[in-house]
Amino acid sequence: MSLFLWVTLLLTLILPSRRKRINNTDNKKPTTFKQTSPEMWPAALPLLLILLLPLALTSTALSHFHSSSSSFPTASSSLYDWSSARATYYAASDPRDKVGGACGYGDLEKAGYGLATVGLSEALFERGQICGACFEVRCVEDTRWCIPGTSIIVTATNFCAPNYGLMAEGGGHCNSPNKHLVLPIEAFEKIAVWKAGNMAVQYRRIKCRKEGGIRFTIDGSNIFISVLISNVAGAGDIVAVKVKGSRTGWLPMGRNWGQNWHVSADLLNQPLSFEVTSSDGHTVTSYNVAPKAWNFGQTFEGKQFES
């Protein structure tokens, strides 16, 4: 019921109409209805205000609910809440440690990730679907080792495999259901002293911020193509990809592993367009991102998600 109708109803109850009093023409002394003189109205106003205040607040709350319930989740939604985990580190003394990984990004330096990366345990890795997602990580609880007021931003690029020869509580850090992060020592030392070893941390998903556009690295043969998708802003992780040649329609691609996608089709000698959908439902289309004379092994840069 609108606020106007409530006011009308309350005025009717508190200030009975003079017309009703006049129509009472019998000889009995009116006991139910009594004329309310203008001098008495101010005395009724406090009661009227007390009755109207909850209605006004309810109306405002309902209006706010209807205006905000359809909005997209903000950074305060559960997706971005802090969660507890543990973290260890590795020393990338061998250059080969910076190459490869379960997400298929290859050389992490060339891919633009550098050492701001993280390997995730089985409980977090989601069979590779999480590849490319960004996390903020901070050290908690242990004042001996934590560096106060610090946090790091890392991208999921690898998988920390479980070791079922050990108990989850006794050395099998990445066994389910453990939530475990493996960081390069260069990243680990930004939030904690290296002597901490296996450290209690908190993490949360955040939007990725990347320079330049989405990168498409093409591989394959004359009967199929495989595309590595990297440098993705926004949600960071990809859930669907389509490719289109100048002589084809849009072809859905399947996830091979990590962020490598493939389709069985001969797409040589034609410009290629890509449609990429991230885990938050946003889609970006890069038209003719690869020219007609593209070759396997080349990387092309397309449009980017907002971050």
pLDDT at 69 over 70: no
Separation between Cα atoms, residue 215 and residue 126, nearest integer Å: 23
In this structure, the answer to whether residues 99 and 160 fall within a common structural domain is: yes
In this structure, the answer to whether residues 163 and 100 fall within a common structural domain is: yes
Phi then psi dihedrals of residue 7, to 5 deg: -60, -45
DSSP string for residues in the chain: --HHHHHHHHHHHHS--HHHHHT--SSSPP-S-----GGGHHHHHHHHHHHHHHHHHHHHHHHHHHHHTTSPP-TTSGGGS-EEEEEEEE---SGGGGB--TT---BTTTTT-TT-EEEE-HHHHGGGTTTT-EEEEEE-S-TTTB-TT--EEEEEEEE----TTS-TTTT-TTSTT--EEEEEHHHHTTTB-GGG-SEEEEEEEE-B--SS--EEEEEE-SS-EEEEEE---BT--EEEEEEEETTS-EEEEEEEETTEEEE-S--TTS-EEEEEEETTS-EEEEEEEE-TT--TT-EEE------
Separation between Cα atoms, residue 242 and residue 235, nearest integer Å: 18
Position 138 in a domain: yes
Q: What is the pLDDT of residue 78?
A: 37
Position 56 in a domain: yes
pLDDT at 141 over 70: yes
Position 307 in a domain: no
In this structure, the answer to whether residues 255 and 164 fall within a common structural domain is: no
Last residue of a domain, one of 152, 183, 206: 206
Q: What is the pLDDT of residue 136?
A: 98
In this structure, the answer to whether residues 93 and 17 fall within a common structural domain is: no
Q: What is the pLDDT of residue 304?
A: 98
Q: Residue 282's domain spans which residues?
A: 215-301
Last residue of a domain, one of 206, 240, 258: 206
In this structure, the answer to whether residues 125 and 16 fall within a common structural domain is: no
In this structure, the answer to whether residues 82 and 198 fall within a common structural domain is: yes
The contacts of residue 19 (CB under 8 Å, 6+ apart) are none
The CATH number of the domain holding residue 259 is 2.60.40.760
Phi then psi dihedrals of residue 184, to 5 deg: -60, 145
pLDDT digits (tens, 9 = 90+) for 74-109: 333 335 799 999 999 998 655 555 666 899 998 898
Compute the average pLDDT of residues 174-182: 95
Separation between Cα atoms, residue 302 and residue 286, nearest integer Å: 5
Average pLDDT of the chain to the nearest whole number: 79
Q: What is the pLDDT of residue 63?
A: 35
Position 177 in a domain: yes
In this structure, the answer to whether residues 114 and 195 fall within a common structural domain is: yes
Residue 163's pLDDT band, with cuts at 50, 70 and 90, is very high
Q: How many domains does the chain have?
A: 3
Position 141 in a domain: yes
Last residue of a domain, one of 68, 97, 124: 68
pLDDT digits (tens, 9 = 90+) for 41-60: 444 444 444 444 444 433 43
Position 105 in a domain: yes
In this structure, the answer to whether residues 60 and 82 fall within a common structural domain is: no
Position 73 in a domain: no
In this structure, the answer to whether residues 187 and 231 fall within a common structural domain is: no
The CATH number of the domain holding residue 135 is 2.40.40.10
In this structure, the answer to whether residues 97 and 184 fall within a common structural domain is: yes
Position 247 in a domain: yes
Separation between Cα atoms, residue 203 and residue 121, nearest integer Å: 13
Q: How many CA atoms lie within 13 A of 174 on its CB side?
A: 18
In this structure, the answer to whether residues 192 and 111 fall within a common structural domain is: yes
88 vs 132, 231, 275, CA distance in Å?
Answer: 20, 25, 37
The contacts of residue 239 (CB under 8 Å, 6+ apart) are 129, 277, 278, 279
pLDDT digits (tens, 9 = 90+) for 247-264: 999 999 999 999 999 999
Compute the average pLDDT of residues 216-234: 96
In this structure, the answer to whether residues 118 and 192 fall within a common structural domain is: yes
Apex CA 288: angle with CA 254 and CA 294, to 5°?
80
